[in-house]
């Protein structure tokens, strides 16, 4: 009874509020009725009335106390700023709470229009720059090599811009035009309509991006100094600070607009400068940190992306903004995965971030399944894949099945192409999981579903053909594991055909996948062929020789594509090395010239794996079962390459390869003849003579055999012939 009386005696305060629609260029906002608003910890929601007003009863709160909104919902609408859910609000009995919502139909239409305009502007700039390059080529002001390189860079920038268009369109589609002045309205309208030149001119007329960071730092430092000097100046300082923060928000919007324009012009350097300046302008703004992280993520700059995602996660955690926290953690986990993809030890921080992101999404989806189910399903898929990669199959199965149920329901409620793609992806992951568990029946069941939806999706929208290709790739692995070579090759040809077509328009994204297909199929074919007899010429059976040559063509093409793209995307570095190792093994038995070419790619990379001549390498390629087997191959390759260097008139390289081998294994005397001959043919006569005499008794016959081989091949220059004859006499 006392507790009841206590609660009844607490003062009942009212938080007034108003809900309106988003202001757009062609229409002002309007009041929105029938919106459900619920405060966290309270059971009874309220509805906005015909003029958009609502009242929240707050028991026991005084002005300035914090409260949190748990639900703001209306069918066909979404919050313009989803961060308002879970974000702390300050109670006020005088200042109303303003909530802005946007019609889903309007948002989709605006995004589509803005995306179309962005593509048109980007394509116009692309064609203009391409024409300029062609004019330079025709006028001989640049070489054909320079032209091809500039053309490749231009194509890469166009593709990078494409990956960011959706985010840019979303930003401008959520812009509240009711809050903009005339200049800001005109700038935004220009960008939305693709008139980048005018937008750029207007921004630079109003704003100088060069000094913005220092100007804001100086202004805030001045204010902090004012606050420290006298308590009497606090009120004025806070007023000044509010003005600076307001200006800071405008500066940030101008930087974002310049960032948008730079991306459309394929100027990645300026785009990076603008988005990073904006993030550093206010390191307490989690949204700005997240958008910078997304830029660096799309440009494969993992460490910077990790830094900004991590900073955003810390900010959202402190602010209690759970929705944004979950996405920052998801981005952080994904980037940690990507950064560690070539390491045998997975980064536990990646799993930790993904697990926490999923946990938050599970809580949010209880309050609003419509808003959060899709993001929960996507994060569950990623977490399930992390468990699969670390061979925790039971945990992976549970997570992926949950993801499948969630995403399938989302696709039924909203049958968009993207949602169906998510379903295809999770079915494929389940197929991969059961394949790894060697449960081929279950793997086939899930891959049939993935293939069915994948074909339907690719027919509806060719932009999702890559999803179908990835399903074909999983089918390849299933057929290979069940010894169905013909079906495996059929799936490979279908996947490779799709990736070839996609790589013609977007090489930046799809060439690595094509390379992966080619190398994987080449490896599968080559291991089933006994090529020793083919190399010796004793086996001329076309049923064996033709598949052997076909496998080599796949391996060589895939390896060359990897070599071209590996500097842009380190994800496939391990596979690139595996292809090189396989080609080196085969060519060392069959084709010395090809072996020399591939070993020249491989051996310099491997030298860094053996610092200070340690026989315990810092990196072991999964091609080998242990470090000892990799080291044995490395030593054999060094000996082989040292000998081949003489045929390519590279005695200096021969010396280096021989010394590298001796450094790893000083007792390996069979490399000594190559070292001695390399010194001799460089004119290092005294060093060479010392080696010959040191090993005269042990290797005399081998020394003479090497001289005979080099002599018959005319590899001893005349200028060194007298010295060779002198050494021969010393060996007698």
At residue 13, the 3 state secondary structure works out as: strand
Q: Which residue has the higher pLDDT, 593 or 573?
A: 593
560: in domain? no
CATH number at residue 94: 2.60.40.10
- Provide the b/e sequence for 513-528 (b: ≥16 CB within 10 Å): bbbbbbbbbbbbbbee
- Please measure the distance between the N-terminal and C-terminal CA atoms of the chain and give it in whole angstroms: 116
What is the per-residue DSSP string for 304-345?
HHHHHHHHHHHHHHHHT-HHHHHHHHHHHHHHHHHHTTT-SS
pLDDT digits (tens, 9 = 90+) for 348-379: 888 899 999 999 999 888 888 888 899 999 99
684 CB neighbour count, 10 Å cutoff: 17
CA-based nearest residue to 370, from 32, 41, 7, 77: 77
Supply the pLDDT for residue 273: 93
Contact between 635 and 665 under an 8 Å Cβ cutoff? The reply is yes
pLDDT for the residue 2:
47
Picking from 104, 120, 137, the residue at the C-terminal end of a domain is 104
| Element housing 36 (H / E) | strand 36-39
pLDDT greater than 50 at residue 61: yes
pLDDT exceeds 60 at position 8? no
Report yes or no on 429 lying in a domain. Answer: no
Helix (H, G, I), strand (E, B) or coil at 620: coil
By the 8 A CB rule, do 580 and 598 touch? yes
Strands 12-21 and 97-103 come out as parallel
Tell me, what's the pLDDT at 233? 61
What percent of the chain has a predicted confidence (pLDDT) above 70? 95
Q: Where are the alpha helices (DSSP H) in 624-695?
A: 627-647, 651-664, 672-681, 685-694
Mean pLDDT, residues 596-610 taken together: 92
323 within domain boundaries: no
Last-in-domain residue among 104, 120, 151 = 104
Neighbour tally for 224: CB within 10 Å: 12
Q: Per the domain annotation, does 84 fall within a domain?
A: yes
CB atoms within 10 A of CB 9: 8
CB-count exposure of residue 385 (10 Å: 0-12, 13-18, 19+): buried
Q: What is the structure's pLDDT at 232? A: 58
| Owning domain of residue 637 | 591-731
Q: Which residue, 83, 104, 125, sits at the end of a domain? A: 104
Model pTM? 0.67
Count of CB atoms situated within 10 Å of the CB of 566: 17
Is 60 exceeded by the pLDDT of residue 7? Answer: no
Q: What are phi and psi of 189, to 5 degrees?
A: -65, -40
Please report whether residue 421 resides in a domain. no
pLDDT in tens, 189-230: 988 888 888 888 888 888 888 888 888 888 888 877 776 766
- The CATH number covering residue 633 comes to 1.25.40
- What's 287-307 look like in SS3? HHHHHHHHHHHHCCCHHHHHH
Number of H helices, E strands in the chain: 29, 8
Say what the pLDDT of residue 5 is. 42
Beta bridge partners of 561: none
In the chain, the number of structural domains is 2
Whether 566 has a pLDDT exceeding 80, the answer reads: no
What average pLDDT does range 589-597 have in this prediction?
92
473 occurs within a structural domain: no
Tokens matching residue 493: 């040809």
Beta pairing, strands 97-103 & 88-90: unpaired
CB 13 within 8 A of CB 58: yes
> How high is the mean pLDDT of the chain?
88
Does any domain span residue 93?
yes
- Taking alpha carbons only, the member of 98, 41, 37, 36 closest to residue 66 is 41
Residue-wise pLDDT tens digits, 626-665: 889 999 999 999 999 999 999 999 999 999 999 999 999 9
Tokens standing for residue 415 = 């049958």
CB 570, CB 594: distance < 8 Å: no
Please state the rounded mean pLDDT for residues 587-592: 91
> Is the pLDDT score of 569 beyond 90?
no
**Spatial separation of the C-alpha atoms in residues 32 and 21, rounded to whole Å:** 6
Domain assignment of residue 27, yes or no: yes
């Amino acid at each position: 009874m006392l507790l009841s009386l206590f609660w009844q005696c607490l003062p009942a305060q009212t938080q007034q509020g108003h809900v309106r629609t988003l202001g757009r260029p062609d229409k002002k906002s309007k009041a929105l009725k029938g919106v459900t608003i619920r405060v966290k910890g309270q059971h009874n929601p309220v509805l906005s009335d015909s003029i958009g007003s609502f009242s929240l009863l707050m028991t026991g709160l005084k002005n300035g106390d914090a409260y949190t909104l748990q639900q703001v919902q209306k069918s066909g609408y979404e919050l313009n700023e989803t961060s308002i859910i879970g974000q702390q609000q300050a109670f006020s009995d005088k200042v109303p709470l303003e909530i802005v919502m946007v019609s889903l139909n309007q948002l989709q239409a605006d995004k589509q229009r803005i995306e179309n305009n962005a593509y048109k502007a980007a394509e116009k700039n692309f064609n203009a720059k391409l024409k300029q390059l062609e004019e330079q080529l025709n006028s001989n002001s640049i070489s054909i090599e320079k032209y091809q390189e500039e053309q490749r860079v231009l194509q890469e920038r166009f593709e990078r811009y494409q990956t960011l268009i959706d985010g840019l369109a979303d930003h401008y589609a959520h812009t509240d035009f009711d809050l903009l002045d005339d200049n800001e309205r005109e700038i935004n309208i220009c960008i939305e309509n693709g008139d980048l030149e005018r937008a750029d001119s207007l921004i630079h007329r109003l704003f100088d991006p060069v000094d913005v960071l220092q100007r804001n730092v100086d202004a805030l430092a001045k204010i902090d100094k004012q606050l420290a000097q006298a308590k009497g100046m606090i009120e004025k300082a806070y007023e000044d600070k509010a003005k600076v923060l307001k200006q800071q928000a405008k500066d940030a919007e101008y930087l974002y607009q310049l960032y948008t324009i730079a991306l459309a012009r394929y100027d990645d350097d300026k785009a990076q400068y603008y988005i990073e300046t904006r993030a550093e302008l206010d390191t307490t703004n989690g949204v700005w940190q997240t958008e910078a992280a997304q830029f660096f993520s799309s440009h494969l700059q993992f460490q910077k992306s990790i830094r900004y995602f991590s900073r955003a996660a810390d900010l959202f955690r402190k602010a209690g903004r759970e929705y944004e926290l979950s996405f920052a953690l998801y981005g952080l986990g994904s980037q940690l995965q990507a950064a560690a993809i070539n390491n045998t030890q997975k980064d536990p921080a990646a799993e930790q971030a993904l697990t926490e992101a999923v946990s938050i999404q599970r809580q949010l989806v209880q309050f609003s399944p419509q808003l959060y189910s899709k993001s929960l399903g996507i994060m569950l898929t990623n977490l399930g894949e992390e468990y699969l990669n670390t061979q925790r199959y039971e945990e992976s199965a549970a997570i992926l099945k949950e993801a499948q149920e969630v995403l399938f329901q989302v696709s039924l409620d909203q049958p968009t192409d993207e949602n169906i793609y998510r379903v295809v992806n999770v079915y494929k992951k389940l197929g991969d999981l059961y394949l790894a568990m060697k449960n081929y029946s279950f793997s086939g069941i899930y891959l049939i579903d993935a293939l069915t939806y994948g074909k339907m999706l690719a027919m509806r929208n060719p932009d999702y053909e890559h999803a179908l290709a990835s399903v074909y790739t999983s089918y390849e692995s299933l057929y290979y594991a069940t010894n169905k070579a013909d079906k495996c090759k059929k799936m490979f040809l279908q996947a490779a055909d799709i990736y070839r077509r996609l790589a013609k328009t977007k090489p930046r994204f799809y060439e690595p996948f094509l390379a992966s297909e080619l190398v994987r199929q080449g490896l599968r074919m080559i291991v089933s062929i006994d090529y020793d007899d083919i190399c010796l010429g004793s086996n001329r059976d076309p049923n064996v020789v033709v598949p052997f040559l076909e496998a080599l063509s796949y391996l060589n093409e895939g390896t060359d594509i990897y070599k071209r793209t590996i500097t842009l995307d380190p994800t496939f570095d391990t596979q690139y090395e595996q292809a090189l190792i396989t080609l080196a093994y085969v060519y060392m038995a069959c084709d010395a010239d090809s072996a020399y070419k591939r070993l020249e790619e491989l051996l310099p990379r491997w030298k860094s794996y053996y610092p200070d001549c340690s026989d315990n390498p810092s990196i072991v390629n999964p091609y080998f079962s242990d470090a000892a087997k990799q080291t044995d191959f490395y030593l054999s390759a060094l000996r082989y390459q040292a000998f081949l260097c003489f045929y390519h008139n590279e005695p200096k390289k021969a010396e280096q390869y021989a010394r590298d081998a001796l450094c790893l294994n000083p007792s390996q005397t069979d490399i000594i003849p190559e070292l001695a001959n390399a010194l001799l043919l460089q004119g290092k006569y005294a060093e060479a003579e010392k080696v010959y005499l040191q090993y005269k008794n042990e290797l005399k016959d081998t020394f003479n055999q090497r001289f005979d081989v080099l002599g018959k091949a005319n590899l001893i220059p005349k200028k060194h012939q007298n010295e060779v004859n002198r050494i021969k006499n010393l060996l007698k």
